Amino acid sequence: MQPFTKYSAIAAPYFFPDVDTDKIIPHVFLRKPLSAGYRNFLFYNLRFTPEGKTKSFILHEPPFNKAGILISGTNFGCGSTREGAVYALTDFGFRAVIAPSFGDIFQANCLQNGLLPVVLAANVVEQLATYVSANPGATISIDLEDQSVTAPDGTVYKFAIDASRKEQLLKGLDDIGITLTDSKLIDDFEAAYKKKLAWL
Amino acid sequence: MVENLEKNAKETGIRHYGMHHPQQGIMHVVAPELGFLHPGMVVTGSDSHIATNGAFGAFGFGVGASQVKHILATQTVWFRRPKVMRVNVTGSLKVGVSAKDVILAIIEKIGIAGGNGHVIEYCGSAITGLSMEGRMTLCNMSIEAGARAGMVAPDDKTIEYLRGLPFAPTAEHWDNAVAFWKSIPSDSGAHFDKEVTLDGSLIEPMVTWGTCQDEACGITAKVPDPATFSDPARRGRAEKAISYMGLKPGTSITEIKIDRVFIGSCTNARLEDLREASKIAKGKQVVIPSIIVPGSQTVKEAAEREGLHEIFIKAGFEWRSPGCSMCTGSNGDRVPSGERCASTSNRNFEGRQGRGSLTHLVSPAMAAAAAISGRLADVRDFI
């Protein structure tokens, strides 16, 4: 997993509430191998006609086609468990999504793939979305160590993140390696559990 | 993908109910009916509707692909202790009102993000009055309220349901297992971070009119006017949804014409669901394309033993083989763009059932009523 430390990029606004995972990536693409790249599946039905022709959509328009930060509304990524929603965002080039809140499963999936979900107050997110809409190409900087977002106008906003998740993202550490350092604990639990619930 | 799964399962020695297995079907239908799920279990799967298993008092929550890998490698998964919400549905349900209507009424009340960060415990007389299959429908849609999981405390119905199933505890362990199951319901004084109460006797057969599951109302209501919504976020969303759905505020829900009907999905494709739909369909004729997709091979065969398939086929329904089908627009079962579908599935998101599809979520009996009416209809007029 690519570490996330400091990151500055063009921010693209797609400021709508409850952007669900079916919208982020339609179900039909989930069987595609990762190696094929998920870039073009992102927001597919919003970006392309059924015949595959390009539709007018903000992520097609320069400079937003080079955006690395997405700004969206409350409950971003609600819906299914599909990790393809995260792959589509990262393959497009996004490394962070800023929103007032996220769907729980989507947020967990982000953290497994080095995509940083940044929660800021709803009025702040709206201001950022309005600013980058009016000033295409404006960049936002995120400093994970400092847990801060610097807006294009220089204003700094702090955000909260779980301490262990922060550490993992900073180091780009894989969950499995960390867990296996506790393998004795797991084995002991499993033995006791099987004894207690002998019917399983 | 299907072949890869088969091959990988074989290589790793994982039990696989593949496409040609006699008990194959939707995981959230097959696992419970085989007795894989017991109270007190922690169950995960790469699908948000694993919450279905909360019907057994099991803690079932969906995980992404990376977490599945983590589970296979370590037998564990990281999960931050969630907040807990209690949803109390009092009284008893009126005739024609099912578990699907209860969960839609709950989601309408708390909103699609109302359960975010929480696990829900459903309780109250209207909930304990539900069958195990009804509880599965209820818990299945916990994620549609934003909750990773939803549970019902195990009781005698749970125990009787499990007795004798292929993967239930054997006779040797049965009494110990039952004693453990009876020990796990919440204490009477348990603290909940959030409490919600609904009067079950006031719940009507429900229909969604929008593109999120909280955009729902009773069948006797009218398409709402978003201008009357106090929450500005929900108002904006509703305006967009009503425009996408091609509806007009003030239209009676029962005036909405339907182009096709889908009865199926992990929410509503169990035997009881098919029985409820068959009671409405019996002796009638569908007037629009309508398909029934049982949740598993076991459900299909049980329904056929009762002759339900004959009722459906005579009424003009297509009687199909188990799978997810039109819930997700799988395997070519799509709702064509601009067509309106009364569906017993769980998501009415834009394009969920096929690009440009318009979905109205309803119970199985309501879906059957729509199939024979060609419009959204009040199932109570057919009882």
Give pLDDT tens digits for B95-125: 999 999 999 999 999 999 999 999 999 999 9
Q: Is residue A183 part of a domain?
A: no
State pLDDT tens for residues B321-365.
999 999 998 878 999 999 999 999 999 999 999 999 999 999 999
**Count of residues in chain B:** 383
Q: Is residue A198 part of a domain?
A: no
In this prediction the pTM is 0.89
Sign, CA torsion B150/B301/B206/B356: positive
Secondary structure letter of residue B196 according to DSSP: E
- Domain B34-200 fold is Aconitase; domain 3 (3.30.499)
CATH number at residue A128: 3.20.19.10
Q: Is residue A195 part of a domain?
A: no
**Count of residues in chain A:** 200
| Across A172-184, average pLDDT | 86
Q: For residue B172, what are the β-bridge partners? A: none
CA–CA gap between residue B12 and residue B357 (Å, rounded): 40
| Across B303-320, average pLDDT | 98
Q: Is residue A188 part of a domain?
A: no
Q: Is residue A74 part of a domain?
A: yes
A174: pLDDT strictly greater than 80: no
What residues of A are in contact with residue B240 (Cβ under 8 Å)? 16
Mean pLDDT of chain B: 96
**Please, where in chain B does CATH 3.30.499.10 lie?**
34-200, 205-382
State pLDDT tens for residues B280-293.
999 999 999 999 99
Sign, CA torsion A100/A103/A105/A106: negative
CB contact under 8 A, B80 and A17: no
A16: pLDDT strictly greater than 90: yes
B246 touches chain A (CB under 8 A): no
Of A18, A80, A112, the CB nearest to B67: A112
B70: pLDDT strictly greater than 80: yes
What is the structure's pLDDT at A32? 86
CB contact under 8 A, A109 and B329: no
CB pairs under 8 A between A and B: 120
Q: B239 pLDDT band (50/70/90 cuts)?
A: very high
Rounded (to 5) percent helix, strand, coil in chain A: 40, 20, 40
B155 touches chain A (CB under 8 A): no
Give A56-69 as a DSSP string: P-GGGSTTGGG--E
Q: How far is B263 from chain A (nearest CA, A)?
A: 20
Phi–psi pair at B193, nearest 5 degrees? -75, -25
Q: Is residue A60 part of a domain?
A: yes
CB contact under 8 A, A197 and B177: yes
Of A22, A82, A109, the CB nearest to B352: A22
| Across B127-145, average pLDDT | 97
What residues of B are in contact with residue A75 (Cβ under 8 Å)? 112-113, 116, 146
| Across B70-92, average pLDDT | 95
Q: B150 pLDDT band (50/70/90 cuts)?
A: very high
CA–CA gap between residue B116 and residue B58 (Å, rounded): 19
* Token digits of residue A53: 């022709």
Q: Into how many domains does chain A fold? A: 1
- Identify each DSSP E strand in chain B by its residue range: 42-45, 59-62, 83-90, 118-123, 149-152, 194-199, 206-208, 216-218, 260-263, 290-292, 318-319, 340-343, 358-361
Of A78, A108, A112, the CB nearest to B146: A78
Q: Is residue A150 part of a domain?
A: yes
A178: pLDDT strictly greater than 90: no
At residue B79, the 3 state secondary structure works out as coil
At residue B43, the 3 state secondary structure works out as strand
Q: Is the ipTM of this complex over 0.85?
A: no
Burial of B338 per CB tally in 10 Å (0-12, 13-18, 19+): exposed
CB contact under 8 A, B233 and A74: yes
CA–CA gap between residue B80 and residue A111 (Å, rounded): 13
Q: B233 pLDDT band (50/70/90 cuts)?
A: confident
| Across A152-178, average pLDDT | 91
What is the structure's pLDDT at A48? 96
CA atoms within 13 A on the CB side of A141: 10
Best CA proximity match to B192, nearest among B331, B312, B39, B83: B83
What residues of A are in contact with residue B64 (Cβ under 8 Å)? 81-83, 86, 105, 108-109, 112
Secondary structure letter of residue B46 according to DSSP: S
Residue of A nearest to B80 (CA): A162
CB contact under 8 A, A101 and B40: no
Q: Is residue A56 part of a domain?
A: yes
What is the structure's pLDDT at B191? 97
Domain residues for the domain of A45 are 6-172
The verdict on domain B205-382 having CATH code 3.30.499.10 is: yes
